[in-house]
């Protein structure tokens, strides 16, 4: 019998959480010393109340709660500081590990200290800038941390041949409204197929299957980091997110803004950067000369296969867990 590894997962079913499911599926399928068990975690009013109180009263950070010390590992991939997922499991073992997305600056003051409250041994931040802030301002926190960028499972995405791609431009997720307004009319005037969420639409795609099919059919995908589309939320955080990798895995050309960490991750500039002064004409020129970008698209695809799948990330996470045993 191996050491029990509990994968704590929200029971929410929104398909934007598929990134977490892809990581957990990778862990489950990869041979290791662990006996893996995926555990859906139900939220409750009490858990929400407890986390709110902890976040509001820093004096509570120093409390030490412990209900046991089992030889078991808890691993959770969470959006921001959703510590509800660790209740009560974090208090039964000292071996708690987190992969954390969307750690916006205004939450740092309570997320970082609570890592020790929940006995987290190692946290993996998807943003390099978050790690830098953690190291500079929270050196008193005992939990160790490292930067580990987002990733995906390439086999969960497909692509049509370049000649069979029928969507000229696809915008999904967060919209860069200022840029969208500059390209929508020129694309329409030239009869280009431009897919994006209209104001009366709740979701652009109802599920991952239809989303992946659209990506496979798209020539160009617009990708812009959150510090530009939602600066009130992300502030200065500019990181490579899943949408960049999803576009590359579907052999789409990315037109957008390069996140601050992405050229370091790729070793070259993998996108066509937006020219706001000439946005409409630039997009039409890109579509007219699309074949010129096929080598870049293929290079990006191969780079994602080799370096940015969850199996790459899990090797690092697993090593850190084993070092703590």
The enclosing domain of 185 has a CATH number of: 3.40.50.2000
Answer yes or no: is pLDDT of 24 > 60.
yes
Share of the chain above pLDDT 70, in %: 97
Q: How high is the pLDDT of residue 179?
A: 97
**122 lies in the same domain as 201:** no
Cα–Cα distance list, 109 to 80, 105, 116, 133, 300 (Å): 12, 8, 13, 11, 37
Tokens of 59: 């004096």
Joined tokens for residue 311: 């199996």
141 with 164, same domain: the answer is no
Residues 151, 262, 269, 196, CA torsion sign: positive
pLDDT, the chain, mean: 93
Q: Which single residue is written with the structure tokens 């500019």?
A: 238
Q: Which helix (H) or strand (E) holds 286?
A: helix 279-288
Domain of residue 107 covers: 3-153+309-324
Q: How confident is the model at residue 167 (pLDDT cuts 50, 70, 90)?
A: very high
Pair 256, 186: CB distance under 8 Å: no
Query: What pLDDT was estimated at residue 210?
Result: 95
Same domain for 159 and 281?
Answer: yes
Q: What is the DSSP letter of 274?
A: P
* Confidence label for 252 from pLDDT (cuts 50, 70 and 90): very high
């Amino acid at each position: 019998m191996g050491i029990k590894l509990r994968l704590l997962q929200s029971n929410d079913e929104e398909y934007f959480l598929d990134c977490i499911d892809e990581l957990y599926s990778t862990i489950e399928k990869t041979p290791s010393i662990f006996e893996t068990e995926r555990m859906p975690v139900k939220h409750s009013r009490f858990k929400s109340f407890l986390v709110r109180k902890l976040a509001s009263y820093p004096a509570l950070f120093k409390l030490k709660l412990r209900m046991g010390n089992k030889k078991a590992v808890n691993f959770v991939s969470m959006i921001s500081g959703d510590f509800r997922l660790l209740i009560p499991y974090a208090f039964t073992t000292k071996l708690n590990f987190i992969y954390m997305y969307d750690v916006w600056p205004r939450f740092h003051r309570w997320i970082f200290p609570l890592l020790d409250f929940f006995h987290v041994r190692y946290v993996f931040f998807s943003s390099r800038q978050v790690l830098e802030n953690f190291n500079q301002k929270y050196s008193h926190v005992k939990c160790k941390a490292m930067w580990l960028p987002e990733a995906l499972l390439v086999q969960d995405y497909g692509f049509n041949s370049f000649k069979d791609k029928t969507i000229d431009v696809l915008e999904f997720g967060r919209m860069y409204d200022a840029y969208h307004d500059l390209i929508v009319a020129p694309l329409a005037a030239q009869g280009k197929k431009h897919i994006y969420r209209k104001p009366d639409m709740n979701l652009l795609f109802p599920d991952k299957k239809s989303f992946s099919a659209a990506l496979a059919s798209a020539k160009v995908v617009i990708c812009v980091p959150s510090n530009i589309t939602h600066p009130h939320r992300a502030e200065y955080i500019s990181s490579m997110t899943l949408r960049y990798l999803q576009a590359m895995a579907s052999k789409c050309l990315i037109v957008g803004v390069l996140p601050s960490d992405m050229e370091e991750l790729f070793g070259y500039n993998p996108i066509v950067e937006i020219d706001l002064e000439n946005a409409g004409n630039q997009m039409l020129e890109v579509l007219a000369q699309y074949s010129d970008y096929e080598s870049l698209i293929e290079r990006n695809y191969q780079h994602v296969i080799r370096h940015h799948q969850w199996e790459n990330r899990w090797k690092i996470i697993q090593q850190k867990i084993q070092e703590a045993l």
